[in-house]
Amino acid sequence: MSESDKLVLDLLKGKEVLQRPLWLMRQAGRYLPEYRMLRVQAKNFLDFCLTPELATEATLQPIRRFGFDAAILFADILLVPHALGQDLQFLDGEGPVLEAVTDEAALRNLVWNMELLEPVFKTLRMVKKELPDETTLLGFAGAPWTVACYMIDGRGRQGFPRALAAASQNPDFLQHFMTVLHQATLEYLGCQIEAGAEAVQLFDSWAGLLDDQQFRRWVIEPTKKLISALKAEYADIPVIGFPRGTSPENYRAFVLETGVDTLGVDNNIPLAYVRGHLQSVKPVQGNLDPELLVQGGDPMRNAVNDIFKTLNPNHIFNLGHGVLQQTPLEHVAELVKLVRDAQQQPA
Ligand code: CP3
């Protein structure tokens, strides 16, 4: 084992590790019975995220049950719009609903008040104290484009027609958004790091909605700028970027140009491409289809096997998107065992 014994952090820093690390996006959540018990103690999801005792417990639950190699802060990408003063509610069966910001005047009205996010930093400090030494603590934020999608459209169920219209017809307006979100996200991640986050992930969940040219302008450029500003202050903190849903070629441009330390890959990218064109640039994280974790059995086993056979050890085992609510606990337990038992394939 290396000096620090933290598999995820070591791999993110480009060190060789003896075992393939494992954690799952959305590893905390409603598929866990203990999460559902905890969730009813909060009046709503926003309060849940902003109550350090509850958020700490939610962060630790999947670590206790499954022993994942990383704990991800329990919070949400939409806490940034909340701290910008945008009205935000999580409605059952609908997901997040925000008061849409559709013009310059509304955008100018937003005022960044990071004090509202103080409970998040307290959660990180509390988690850090309880976490096993070998578990990496991850902070995160939404990337500017994905957060702008929710802020401009107000909800996500019907896609993001207004944000997409801005991307093609009103670039000045969207650029102004990028500037506001750059500054807020930079400060937010800086505070997460000060509070104990050892690495951070940028979720660009809606990167796949953009064409190639738009991807460059609204995903690559803002991500590169954010990482460079973050690295100027925190050179040692690794950044994972996850431009979900984009093409293989755009993934490659992203990993070559943004300065990410590790690339999160969704399950639509063929493993041979990941191995040949992405792992040759940086370590990758992903990309088991979350539906296969729901299904379990041989389809899941075969897919895990393919990942081990095809990807070299410069890899953090994860899903291609978050754990689904209907995922059986036994399948997660089996996945953990499969990954732990698998022999590293020679590179
Ligand atoms: O375990 C973890 O991964 C940590 C916590 C986490 C949550 N959201 C908790 C959450 C993280 C990293 C996120 C990121 C997030 N939030 C993203 C990016 C990743 C992705 O899924 O693409 C996005 C787009 C959001 C916005 C968001 N938050 C939506 C669309 C929803 C509703 C959908 C749903 O699953 O209910 C949420 C709510 C949310 N965020 C829940 C959780 C556990 C469910 C709320 C509940 O328990 O009632």
Whether 234 is catalytic is: no
Which residue blocks in 131-170 are alpha helix, DSSP H? 144-153, 161-169
E strand or H helix at 59: helix 52-66
pTM listed for this prediction: 0.96
Contact 222, 148 (CB under 8 A): no
How far is the C-alpha of 225 from the C-alpha of 255, rounded, in Å?
Answer: 14
Q: Whose CA is nearest to atom 40 of ligand 1?
A: 76
The CATH number for 130's domain is 3.20.20.210
Span from the CA of 75 to the centroid of ligand 1 (angstroms):
8
Q: Is 240 in the pocket of ligand 1 (CB under 6 A)?
A: no
- pLDDT reading at 2 higher than 80: no
Report the chain's mean pLDDT, rounded to a whole number: 96
Span from the CA of 347 to the centroid of ligand 1 (angstroms):
35
pLDDT band per the 50, 70, 90 thresholds, residue 4:
low
Residue 207 within any structural domain of the chain: yes
Which atom in ligand 1 lies closest to the alpha carbon of residue 39? Answer: 47
φ and ψ at residue 142, rounded to 5 degrees: -75, 145
- pLDDT reading at 312 higher than 70: yes
Residue 103 within any structural domain of the chain: yes
Residue 346 within any structural domain of the chain: no
How far is the C-alpha of 259 from the C-alpha of 238, rounded, in Å?
Answer: 10
Residue 84 within any structural domain of the chain: yes
The residues, ordered by sequence, that sit 6+ positions from 200 with a Cβ below 8 Å of its Cβ are: 138, 139, 140, 141, 189, 192, 193, 230, 237, 238, 239, 240
pLDDT on residue 94: 86
**Ligand 1: which of 23, 24, 25, 26 to mutate, judged by most atoms within 8 Å of the beta carbon?**
26
Span from the CA of 95 to the centroid of ligand 1 (angstroms):
9
Residue 294 within any structural domain of the chain: yes
> Quick one: tokens of 157?
């169920």
Residue 300 within any structural domain of the chain: yes
pLDDT on residue 5: 86
How far is the C-alpha of 249 from the C-alpha of 338, rounded, in Å?
Answer: 31
Whether 26 is catalytic is: yes
φ and ψ at residue 92, rounded to 5 degrees: -60, 135
How far is the C-alpha of 294 from the C-alpha of 332, rounded, in Å?
Answer: 9
Please, which residues bridge with residue 25 across strands?
none
- Percent of the chain exceeding pLDDT 90 equals 94
Residue 171 within any structural domain of the chain: yes
DSSP annotation of 18 reads S
How far is the C-alpha of 304 from the C-alpha of 334, rounded, in Å?
Answer: 11
Residue 347 within any structural domain of the chain: no
- Tell me how many domains the chain contains: 1
Query: Domain of 38?
Result: 3-341
Contact 219, 253 (CB under 8 A): no
Q: Is 206 in the pocket of ligand 1 (CB under 6 A)?
A: no
